Structure 1
């Protein structure tokens, strides 16, 4: 993880550095790999793989949930409403997905062409294919929709396949997608970042990194090797917040940076010393397994330690 820009010396009031936590390519932890192997990876709610399925006959069914009217899960809607009115947080939104059904968009992908009786090329077979997106920072994102209507508004030709959100998260992991984007193009678009995707895939509770005591301990332990660091603070990063379609700001659902690390440094350090210190800390953090699993992206703020 390299700093983005040059860190200022402490003769200024403060400075900031942003970056993505951990190396760009990270091996899946063994427990997640095992969950993928046991859950079938990319599949629908019945466990049937999507890849190679035709759009004809039973393969073309919208979903496998009986009596599903296609509306959004009530628990998810309640969690988002609480986020909007300030009584909830992003962890509660992710927690609501543990039992929620979502829709994954599947599109027709031409698998084989044939020449028709009139001599013109015609589609002979179309297979189902998952839709993947590219986030602004280049990461792969998997879209999911809380209602069939939201999916139809986004892509009228896509077929909604209903799955539990945990299975959608498993599919995102197996496709090496670091983000699960809920309801893109809707009034409220909520981004589930990589650590939360992994937690959802394992069906365990997700704790945001800025509230995670084990993450705080890991960061503090690494800092003990740098005497110039007098204190550390953890706060939600600037990228935690998101904006609704009508311009309201929500305290959750953003794509990152998710964690703000405030370093209180001794006075008198020049720019080169600060740069070396920050690079050393980032290197230590990125080598830590727990940090790599639980922190998606960070921004670093520099402050003078109070004498």
Structure 2
């Protein structure tokens, strides 16, 4: 079974209501300085055009638009089986990336409020919009590109804004995007899931949930009040792997679920007993701050404990 935890479980809007989604305090504090009316480079959207000086690609000196060498090396190690997705995200943390923005028409209402003249409307205005996508599971994702060429191949009319990945991650959080999708439509599309996006936004090291000893402890502690659970193990989930355009599978960069929790249960439990244990554990885990912040989505596997 698969479960996508809320970013923060806890406060309830009312009896029977879904948990209110609040960002952790340190994420909210980082966003407070980012502003909602600015792009991922901190520049205001207002007054933008695609002509003249505003049309320049980026402000990074001597930047030829190529992908960051450290990121490419980390991806090569991942492909060779000598690296992991944590190393790819670590390399991305110091890389310059391109965030696509596109021109769109913003329609105004009537020319003047309170007028009764028919057919009078203000002019349409060109505005700049940050691009977001819908992931297959319905969540919002933000596309980010490691090179200007990969962005042009994806959307020739998009304007690339060069930023460091930490700033791109802050923009993703501000837009409500839980995923960063690197180089969609290219040879390798690498997905950075919500906990890693938050780590990038804070410029902190990201540890995958399936390799997190603190999280393993939290899951084990949650199972203490269920005597029928003899042991809890964590492993990479079925959604960790990604695939290149030619079909080669890589051990990282997938969209999730990234965490597999294996519950070893005592023998003799009926279906109702198993369902009660799983529901109780899900509730306990979802209310834990460490779990809520560090787990993007999980799959639970049940095993019979050895006698």
| TM-score, normalization by structure 1 | 0.88
**What SS does the aligned partner of 1:256 have?**
coil
Contact 2:40 / 2:170 at 8 angstroms: preserved in 1? Answer: no
**What SS does the aligned partner of 1:83 have?**
helix
Q: CA deviation at 1:47?
A: 2.0
Q: Flag the 1:104–1:25 CA change in 2: closer, same or farther, 3 A.
A: farther
Q: CA deviation at 1:39?
A: 3.5
The gaps in structure 2 that reach 5 residues or longer are: 10-18, 109-120
What is the rounded CA distance, in whole Å, between the counterparts of 2:272 and 2:201 in structure 1? Answer: 42
Contact 2:74 / 2:87 at 8 angstroms: preserved in 1? Answer: yes
Q: What residue number does 2:52 align with?
A: 57
- Per-residue CA deviations over 1:184-204 (Å, capped at 9, x if unaligned) read 000100000000000000000
Q: What residue number does 1:228 align with?
A: 228
Q: What residue number does 1:10 align with?
A: none
Q: CA deviation at 1:71?
A: 0.4
Q: Map of 1:113-128 to 2, 5 A cutoff?
A: 125-128=125-128
Q: Flag the 1:245–1:66 CA change in 2: closer, same or farther, 3 A.
A: same
Which residue of 26, 43, 57 maps to 1:31? 26
| TM-score, normalization by structure 2 | 0.88
Contact 1:54 / 1:125 at 8 angstroms: preserved in 2? Answer: no
Q: CA deviation at 1:241?
A: 0.4
Moved more, 275-284 or 45-54: 45-54
What is the rounded CA distance, in whole Å, between the counterparts of 2:225 and 2:210 in structure 1? Answer: 22
What is the rounded CA distance, in whole Å, between the counterparts of 2:59 and 2:124 in structure 1? Answer: 26
What is the rounded CA distance, in whole Å, between the counterparts of 1:231 and 1:51 in structure 2? Answer: 56
Q: What residue number does 2:274 align with?
A: 274
Q: CA deviation at 1:52?
A: 5.4
Which residue of 55, 75, 91 maps to 2:70? 75
Q: What residue number does 1:8 align with?
A: none
Q: Map of 1:132-281 to 2, 5 A cutoff?
A: 132-281=132-281
- Per-residue CA deviations over 1:84-107 (Å, capped at 9, x if unaligned) read 000000000000011100001111
The one of the two structures with greater contact order (alpha-carbon pairs below 8 A, sep at least 6) is 1
Contact 1:107 / 1:159 at 8 angstroms: preserved in 2? Answer: yes
Q: CA deviation at 1:45?
A: 6.2
Q: Flag the 1:85–1:211 CA change in 2: closer, same or farther, 3 A.
A: same
Moved more, 103-112 or 131-140: 103-112
Which residue of 99, 102, 106 maps to 1:111? 106
What is the rounded CA distance, in whole Å, between the counterparts of 1:51 and 1:174 in structure 2? Answer: 17
2:97 matches 1:102: yes
Contact 2:228 / 2:265 at 8 angstroms: preserved in 1? Answer: yes
- Per-residue CA deviations over 1:253-302 (Å, capped at 9, x if unaligned) read 00000000000000000111000100000001001111100000000000
**What SS does the aligned partner of 1:39 have?**
coil
**What SS does the aligned partner of 1:302 have?**
strand
**What SS does the aligned partner of 2:280 have?**
helix
What is the rounded CA distance, in whole Å, between the counterparts of 2:148 and 2:75 in structure 1? Answer: 18
**Considering only aligned residues, what root-mean-square deviation do their CA atoms show, in Å?**
1.9
Number of positions where the alignment pairs a residue of Structure 1 with one of Structure 2: 284
Q: CA deviation at 1:128?
A: 1.1
Q: CA deviation at 1:36?
A: 1.2
Q: What residue number does 1:21 align with?
A: 5
Moved more, 43-52 or 259-268: 43-52
